[in-house]
Amino acid sequence: MKNLIEINDFSVEELKDVVKVGCDISENPGEYMDRMKGKVMATLFFEPSTRTKFSFEAAMNRLGGKLISLSEVKNSSVSKGESLKDTVKTVGCYSDIIVMRHPHEGAAKFVSEVLDVPLINAGDGGHEHPTQTLTDLLTIYIEKGRLDNLDIALVGDIKHGRTVHSLVKALSKFENNRFYFASPKHLGLPNYLKNSLDPETLFFEPDLEKVLPKVDVVYMTRIQRERFDDINYYNEIKDDYILDEEKMTFAKEDAIIMHPLPRVNEITVGVDKDPRAKYFKQVKNGMYVRMALILKLMNELDLNVVEDKGDIKYSKCINPKCITNFETVEQVEFNQSCPYNDNYHCKYCSQTIGKE
Ligand code: NCD
């Protein structure tokens, strides 16, 4: 059975396939109308969402399927003390595919262990958001005609921005892409991610005006207030990166401006009328690519997924936000999956530890 929990669950070929099918759906939506007839999708959102939840629900509706959904934890048995695994396993008895968003890192991987229907991670804390990445890839492909040979700026809260984590992982699988990170001092790329990428493709340049003339894609992000331990630091840096009409004069003529949304103030409304602004097109692309994803996961139920076998085990992960610190887990495996160093990663939240 195939899930989409981390973007690395898909090979480059699979990413290309989903993007291509998403592209076809965007051009011929009528042809896909009945493909999920008789199937039920469950959406379980333990964290706020507008776009992702609606986009999955619209996608399933447009494929002719049906939906059951939970949007408020207080309405579920989790509020009676039920474990997350039991809640999700129960939902799996009613549905053919599940979409889940949860505030804890590694939560999707954790519940997938008890499910026998495909699971889609719609965001696990500050860890990953692979379906936003499919949205972003489809947008880049439509707008730039390629997913390789790109210079990409990632701006804002790179530490907590799960969309950035999944996007950088995905784009690093394609040839000759380079990444420019512009972020406040303490909101840079998490070490686990930095250590898993080719260092020659990474550039850290906090001055946005220096980055803009170099890049084909500008990926703006919101400072993720809800994930800060120190709210004073949030207030100090929250307005550090604002893309306005004046800054846009530094960007290339054929650059594209992206944002996973919601925006707070990091792109001024004046930029919306610039033809390079693509963030609302991104929203629509998200629905098409999620239609493609649903089809892929539902049609390939017998695909074998090879799991990494780790050889370092702990009872809890050292990341305090990891799901293993909130739910019962027998052992946490740390797998070695990175070609650039000897580090091991928590199989749920990707926290790194050095080799013992
Ligand atoms: C993002 C998320 O939830 O991570 N939103 C989305 O899904 N489009 C970005 C954000 O909340 O800043």
Cα of 228 to ligand 1 centre, how many Å? 15
Mean pLDDT of the chain: 92
Would the CB of 133 count as within 6 Å of ligand 1?
A: no
The CB-side HSE value for 105 (13 A sphere, CA atoms) comes to 22
If pLDDT is split at 50, 70 and 90, which confidence band does 345 have?
confident
pLDDT at 77 over 90: no
Would the CB of 347 count as within 6 Å of ligand 1?
A: no
Region 80-85: mean pLDDT is: 91
Ligand 1: residue of 52, 164, 167, 282 to mutate (most ligand atoms within 8 A of CB) is: 52
pLDDT at 244 over 90: yes
- What is d(CA 296, CA 41) in angstroms, rounded to the nearest whole number? 14
Would the CB of 55 count as within 6 Å of ligand 1?
A: no
Task: Give the pLDDT confidence score for residue 355 in this predicted structure.
Answer: 59
Region 228-243: mean pLDDT is: 96
If pLDDT is split at 50, 70 and 90, which confidence band does 1 have?
confident
Would the CB of 261 count as within 6 Å of ligand 1?
A: yes
If pLDDT is split at 50, 70 and 90, which confidence band does 301 have?
very low
- What is d(CA 84, CA 103) in angstroms, rounded to the nearest whole number? 12
- What is d(CA 74, CA 17) in angstroms, rounded to the nearest whole number? 38
Strand order from edge to edge, sheet including 119-124: 66-70, 40-45, 97-102, 119-124
Atom index in ligand 1 nearest the CA of residue 162 equals 4
Region 184-196: mean pLDDT is: 95
The token duo for 95 is 């549905």
- What is d(CA 99, CA 18) in angstroms, rounded to the nearest whole number? 17
Question: What region does 81 belong to: left with phi over 0, alpha with psi -120 to 50, or beta?
Answer: left
Task: Give the pLDDT confidence score for residue 302 in this predicted structure.
Answer: 34
Task: Give the pLDDT confidence score for residue 109 in this predicted structure.
Answer: 97
pLDDT at 340 over 70: no
- What is d(CA 251, CA 216) in angstroms, rounded to the nearest whole number? 9
Task: Give the pLDDT confidence score for residue 63 in this predicted structure.
Answer: 96
Would the CB of 260 count as within 6 Å of ligand 1?
A: yes
- What is d(CA 1, CA 300) in angstroms, rounded to the nearest whole number? 7
Whether 141 and 12 have beta carbons less than 8 Å apart is answered as no
3-class DSSP state of 4? strand
137-151 pLDDT, tens digit per residue, is 999 999 999 999 999
pLDDT at 211 over 80: yes
Amino acid in the structure at residue 343: N
Window from 6-20, 73-87, 183-197 with minimum mean pLDDT:
73-87
Cα of 89 to ligand 1 centre, how many Å? 26
Task: Give the pLDDT confidence score for residue 78 in this predicted structure.
Answer: 78
Would the CB of 43 count as within 6 Å of ligand 1?
A: no
If pLDDT is split at 50, 70 and 90, which confidence band does 309 have?
very low
Sheet strands (E) in 73-224: 97-102, 119-124, 151-155, 178-182, 202-204, 217-220
The token duo for 79 is 């509020």
Atom index in ligand 1 nearest the CA of residue 122 equals 7
Region 185-203: mean pLDDT is: 95
Amino acid in the structure at residue 164: V
Cα of 134 to ligand 1 centre, how many Å? 13
Would the CB of 132 count as within 6 Å of ligand 1?
A: yes
Whether 169 and 9 have beta carbons less than 8 Å apart is answered as no
Whether 194 and 168 have beta carbons less than 8 Å apart is answered as no
